[in-house]
Structure 1
């Protein structure tokens, strides 16, 4: 079937094979299309350490993967996603997502996509299927000068230096870009739904439709981020999912909605009323219990913590509530059959696979343990005395490393690799100016 795609697209001369590293970066190779059959059949190889590079793409100095273990190769095989076009490139090109395995055919535990697969397998073992949808916020930015600013509208040539919450005018100003974006999503089979203008300068949100395949949902988010950033450059400006490019405006989040189906296809959170079931409460309790220690997966970079400040439309307290956007976990109103949990902590700069593994893994732990959450909050959670999400990058790294909760949904190898990565980044980022820090995050995350 993968070979059929290339036969139907004879204009494609080259392919990219790419896996996702711990920072959500695409790592892989460029290969002439005439050698695609070999990649599909045999896979390709590169070192395990490539999935464990820092944000600059450098080896982790004290990682055992590099010298201690001889920088061994893993085998990378195509995921079930198969070939897809790369509409942001000038030449017709295909992308083939891949993931890493050991020599004996077992999944490599340090691969973020395998981390999510392992969580999904736990759901399957209980006859359950998570259904996920994501809302991704990002900024369109003119980064051609010394300071970041809103790009001029392709229609008017003017810059609108103000918030444009739910503004049709802001959407229309960049209509050519969004038309190309939706066309590209169709080509790549990314289920982009509604777009809105958000509160930041040149900030927008695109919702991805719900999906009963969590791996595919994470694929969609990863591919969408790649597409938006690449396509924006074709239009003459940047797009960035960094958490907080402008200090005086709200940052970008990546909100995740999820429910869980049983073997009959029924939503186990649906009680027929507004409050939801015991299973919903147990899932909420699991998410709250793991939230402090897994914050590093929702806020993986130094800049991430500029977003997690009080009264900036991002959660700071570990709490939940019904129809309450000041809470870290919100239970939206609406049709009971669609009763779901909205997890609001993650920034746009996350690795979607690790973020979703943490959310779904924590929820399942709560369901397995029949945990009960504290009472839901009402009103402004910022004004209440509640347990707090870590406020600094270093404290989040410490909490993640010492956690007894995180190992329930992530492997020891991945935990070790991520801690080593983040400690190295923490060390070197202190040598950079604020402008240099923004520069590295703007294009990477």
Structure 2
């Protein structure tokens, strides 16, 4: 890792950062001359730091704080190593880290370790998930009391409507997207296609598929950090908030995944459009855990404003072939690329917890050889289907007690997330709508 710093002598400071339960980067700034210590000895900060609320406050009744004396964990570099932070003015390097106990045990409340634990279940069966994510976000002028689309740097005009797959909408912010793709190259984030979406100033960028789900989650986490930071450098905001505008669709974070066996063959591919038994088992697992995992896919109060019938976000628990109204879609195309698309998550999720929930549910179904109900046809919104929880309180309660969730996440992480969300729910009730938007706009 030091070789990266030697090749980049212009870097004078580093940031070490881990993702908390809300996906917020938590860490420290360190002068470059002390980087060796962060690499060799790790960085120390309290276990409770990965369990803060959306405001960055301690959880009032968390056993991690006063009850335990607010003990430290040790955070060690992930395999990602150093990378630049192109949204800052001065040359700076980011070192992603994750948390351990002093005896070397992974800290179960760390979202990255939660995903890694799920991946070990695949590894024990000789399986490897291959994942890709599609991230939607808004470019927003938040300088006034009312949120609006930033004026185009090219024309000075504001686009007052959504414009799906519009070349003009992309061209209006060409400098931003050029800088974004250059920055993704610098950070080794595999950004692929960009399109305009249905919301005001809404865009989507796909990240290329990856046979390392930890890296795929890293890419999504880093990408969200980059987009938000780079937008501010260009004079406006970028937000992955689920629903900033009441009258337009919200932002999703769709996940595509397949699974390879030890020989590198796609276990979902049977040579035809329907897929294998294992694909059906994985679908069944995803459907069974969907209601209990809703808190992962919709972690904030605003998340549920996106999940309304007929508004491009699934509300019923179902699966289908080539049908974007269902919560699980099996895309068509070359059988060798047969995969599952999980469409429930909003853009405001923690990517580590989201991938852990999706892949954990799928391996539940594979391990148990579960069978799903028949795939639906037609408009899912018009059918009598089991429903995804439509409010925050219900999602919290289901997550706490769901047996499918208990197979995916460690008890400590379940407890920590439930305590966090109950505290946020309580404090959000004291805020007006404008204050809620303000906190979510920059954080998620």
Q: Give me the whole-angstrom Cα distance separating, in 2, the residues matched to 1:176 and 1:370.
A: 50
The residue number in structure 2 matching 1:320 is 319
The residue number in structure 1 matching 2:381 is 382
Within the alignment, does 1:190 sit opposite 2:189 as a pair?
Answer: yes
The residue number in structure 2 matching 1:33 is 32
Q: Give me the whole-angstrom Cα distance separating, in 2, the residues matched to 1:247 and 1:311.
A: 14
The residue number in structure 1 matching 2:56 is 57
Q: Give me the whole-angstrom Cα distance separating, in 2, the residues matched to 1:124 and 1:112.
A: 19
Q: Give me the whole-angstrom Cα distance separating, in 1, the residues matched to 2:240 and 2:155.
A: 25
- 1:252-277 deviation digits (Å, cap 9, x = unpaired): 00000000000000000001000000
Provide runs of 4+ in structure 1 moved above 2 Å: none
The residue number in structure 1 matching 2:171 is 172
Query: Aligned to 1:65, what secondary structure does the other structure show?
Result: helix
Query: Aligned to 1:196, what secondary structure does the other structure show?
Result: strand
Q: Give me the whole-angstrom Cα distance separating, in 2, the residues matched to 1:126 and 1:402.
A: 27
TM-score w.r.t. length of structure 1: 1.00
- Structure 1 unaligned spans of 5+: none
The residue number in structure 1 matching 2:204 is 205
- Structure 2 unaligned spans of 5+: none
The residue number in structure 1 matching 2:292 is 293
Q: CA RMSD in A?
A: 0.3
Query: Aligned to 2:220, what secondary structure does the other structure show?
Result: helix
- Give the alignment of 1:255-404 within 5 angstroms: 255-404=254-403
Q: Give me the whole-angstrom Cα distance separating, in 1, the residues matched to 2:307 and 2:151.
A: 29
- 1:34-78 deviation digits (Å, cap 9, x = unpaired): 000111111110000000000000000000000000000000000
Q: Give me the whole-angstrom Cα distance separating, in 1, the residues matched to 2:352 and 2:406.
A: 16
- 1:83-134 deviation digits (Å, cap 9, x = unpaired): 0000000000000000000011000000000000000011001000000000
The residue number in structure 2 matching 1:428 is 427
Q: Give me the whole-angstrom Cα distance separating, in 1, the residues matched to 2:410 and 2:401.
A: 14
Q: CA deviation at 1:80?
A: 0.2
Query: Aligned to 2:438, what secondary structure does the other structure show?
Result: helix
The residue number in structure 2 matching 1:240 is 239
Q: Give me the whole-angstrom Cα distance separating, in 1, the residues matched to 2:290 and 2:246.
A: 25
- 1:384-429 deviation digits (Å, cap 9, x = unpaired): 0000000000000010011111010100000000000000000000
The count of residues paired between Structure 1 and Structure 2 equals 444
The residue number in structure 2 matching 1:418 is 417
Query: Aligned to 2:131, what secondary structure does the other structure show?
Result: strand
Query: Aligned to 1:67, what secondary structure does the other structure show?
Result: helix
Q: Give me the whole-angstrom Cα distance separating, in 2, the residues matched to 1:376 and 1:196.
A: 29
